[in-house]
Each structure stands twice: as C-alpha cells, then as structure tokens.
Structure 1
C-alpha cells in the first residue's frame, strides 16, 4: 500500500507542478508560439506539448541551469522547429480536385471497344477492311489510301462508307462505339 500512496502523491505533485507552470508561464508560451507559427491552434498544440515534456522531465526544471521560463521557451522553439522540418521534409498533401485528377484514366472501356471494333473488322470483306485499316489505323487520307491500295479515291470513299455502315449494323445499338465519318 505505501507504494500506491507514493504514486498517488507523486501524481498530485506532478499535476500541481504543471498547473503552476501553466498559470505562471502559459500566456508567455502561447504568445511566443503564436508569433513563431502565425497560427493560434498550432500554438496551443505546441504549448500543450511543451507542458507534457515538462511533466515528463521535471528534473530539467529544477536543475539550477537557468530559468524555468527559459527552458520552456527553448522547448517551445524546438518543437516548432521540429514540426517545420518534418513538414518540409515530406511533400505537401494536395486534395484531389477536377484539375488534379489521376494522370491515367481507367482504360478498360477503350480495351473493350478495341476488341469489339477488331471483331467487327474481321467480319468485313477484305476490301472494306483494307480501306478502314489504311484510313483509321494508319492515319492516311483518302488520296493516300487510294494510292496505297491502287484504287481510285471515289472507291476508297464508297468502300469506307459501306464498311462503316456494316460495322454500325454489327454493333446494332447494344454497344455505343464511336465510329467517325470519312472526309476528303
């Protein structure tokens, strides 16, 4: 039982020490921390941390190596310095906004669309498939596709028209795949 009473007396003494420190130095610590942080809420957190450190190291307060207020102000400055260094050591957190969305969007839809288009291309006649391959996959103009395939430009246009029409019928409205029109 004597050990329990001793611990209770020590706890009461520690609490009295922290209360007296806060009453005597709390306003000065808060003013100093507010001036260094420019943030009242952060300054209150720093003062609280300073008092917790004083509670954990009561022998530092009575060691006779300077004033108590000097020790408390030094601890306050060190806490603020440590927080500043920790904050600048890691990258700033940025909230995700429409401007800062993910770099790469989900590509699953484009993969499925590509598979559907390739399947539809396989169902076309070789002449129609060749025209669409030259125009859409190789990025050639009607004139360039005509020269590559050895047919007149009008034939390229009509084959692309009928090939796209056949592909639209293949999709039949069950799937919305954008197929652009062929121009000049």
Structure 2
C-alpha cells in the first residue's frame, strides 16, 4: 500500500487525481465498512453509506481540514452522518399496514380496556360540576341584586347534574 499521507491524498483528489482517491479508499475502506456495519441494518446499506462517505470526500477534498495526519476521523464522522441521514429518511418513509381486523376481539373487551378513561372523565365532570355549584352559591351569597342573572343558573346546574348522573347510569 502507498505510504502517501492522507493530507497529500486529499490534495491530489482536490486536483482531480483518481489515483489519490483510489489510494484513500484502499487505505480506509475496511475500517469504514466495519464501522458502517455497526450503524446500518443491511449489507446494501453498508455499501451505500461507505460509498456516500467517499463521494463526499471526493467532492469536498479541497475543503477538508484534517486535525492530524489521518483522514480517518473525518471519514468516520461523515460515515456516521450518512448513516443517520439514511435512518431518518427510512423512518419518514416507513408505513404501517392497516388491516380490517379489529384491535380487540369484541366490543365488550374494548369497553373494558377503556373503562378507566370513561371513569376519569366522569370524575372530572363531577368535580367540575361541584366547583361550579360552589361558585354559584358564593356569588348568590354575596349578591346585592347586581347579579340577578345568576339566580337561574343554580337550577340549570342542578338539571345538568341530574342529566350527567342519568347518563352515567345508563
């Protein structure tokens, strides 16, 4: 294998040298392939991610700033980014089949599983009604005839309470 430094190979690639690219691929492809296997799900994805990594290096060879002698850290980060992009792309396109099969075997089973939701709604409704009733009583106690329209509200609220009770029983 050629002992040319990665910095020199990148300079050659920036000048359009295919041999520089070939040497960089030969030097780092095995490591990138092993790394890509840890990041993606299928062999074809490994090939795609590694190829995209080297294509990115080819296209941006003149802009790659190495932090040391090796291009491997840059290649690994770029490979990880391509794998993440692939995963994001796949998750956006993932579909789930819709079947005609019911989620539960029967309606009663569904009602039983969701009963806690109905119980919680009923509890909140009763809490709200009692709070309203207390508010109306306080307003009526402190009313000096200025809020006469509240006088009809308490009987209406009592009707709502009775209706809510009947609805929960039925």
> TM-score, structure 1 length as denominator?
0.41
Larger radius of gyration: 1
TM-score, structure 2 as length reference: 0.44
| Structure with greater contact order relative to length (CA < 8 Å, sep ≥ 6) | 2
